[in-house]
Amino acid sequence: MRSFVLSVGLALLAGCGSTPVHPPAELTEIQPTATLKILWQGSVGSAEKSSFFPQAFGNVIYAVGADGSVTGFDKASGRPTVSFDADERVSGGVGVGGGLVLLGTPKGRVLAFEREGKPVWQTQLSSEVLAPPEAQEGIVVVRTGDGRIHGLDIATGKGKWIYQRATPALTVRTHAGVVVRQGGVFAGFPGGRLVALALANGNIGWEAVVALPRGTTELERVADVTSLPVIDGQQVCAAAFQGRVACFDAFRGTLLWARDVSSVAGIGTDARYLYVTDDKNAVQALDKTSGAGIWRQDKLAGRNVSAPLALGRHVVVGDLEGYVHLLSREDGSFAARIDTDGSAISAPPIALDATSFLIQTRRGGVFAISVQ
């Protein structure tokens, strides 16, 4: 069966002859209750049409552009300390772990480098690498666009195991990879499925249903998990497009709660709440133990809002024009806003510490920003 892929950008539905795309909501003046300050900024090559994820490796922030140029920035000052070229076009961004800097390519290759850029190994996989590789406990885990998850030996790059499942005829193209935690690999799939694999051998521990496809047309029946799951203590949570947000017991996969919220961008959590950016670009806060709604911020409609990052008393999101929005954790009101380089922030913000975070823009800007 021929497989069709939907883009997760603004044209997600419009490209299929469905709901028209609305212009982004105009930003109105806010009364700030906090301050966002750019601590430092750097630049790497354009991410082009991909969502690129920078990564912290000790005191160095690694980022890459689509052309394969990698830069390491000092975490405190933003001063470039490392620079090297992968000599190939890359996709998905940078992965780190086990002392290696890891890259994937559109041609399905995984490239491993030492911290200073010396090549260690290269491995050819089955199809395009859409997300940064992850590495723990001697295993590099890589997700490819054909529905496979590969476990590679971290010393040699040789394959140790492969997990594969069938791909539906119509899916949402996603740059979400996997979450590796406590000896497990957690990943969402088309058809609303969430799976937990054993890191050591790729054996499936459990499979859970985030959302079931429903509707009469193939487009209506798309119910894909398009963002990273979130591990939160003893539970793992995930969101599905045209489906639900659901949380499960991380060890057994039993459902704890679910709520009907459709999301492409993804979720974040803190000690009290689960936050989700829904498919209307509203940011919602749900009670983490029951899924009950707490608040909904809907003033960013049409702005391709990123997944939320919970940071202290605030929630951070980025948008398609390079703005970073800071929301109050208590009621979702706007606490602060700052502009970056005018290009989309499509990858989720990444926490650096309790008061600062990192974003990479589509144009290749890397910004460390603090909340004051």
pLDDT tens by residue, 160-208: 999 998 776 666 667 779 999 989 999 999 889 999 999 999 999 999 9
In angstroms, what CA-CA distances link 3 with 26, 45, 172, 216, 221?
37, 31, 11, 18, 14
Supply the DSSP string of 285-297, one letter for each residue: EEETTT--EEEEE
92-115 residue pLDDT tens: 889 999 999 999 999 999 999 999
Fold of 52-174: Lipocalin (2.40.128)
Residue-range domain boundaries for the chain: 52-174
45-91 residue pLDDT tens: 898 877 788 999 999 999 999 999 999 999 999 999 999 999 999 99
Q: For the whole model, what pTM was predicted?
A: 0.92
Hey, what are 258's tokens? 């679910």
**Residue 98 · residue 85 · CB < 8 Å:** no
322-337 residue pLDDT tens: 999 999 999 999 999 9
Token pair 């948008």 is found at 319
Buried b (16+ CB within 10 A) or exposed e, 260-298: ebbbbbbbbbbeebbbbbbbbbbbbbbebeebeebbebe
Q: What is the mean pLDDT of residues 314-326?
A: 98
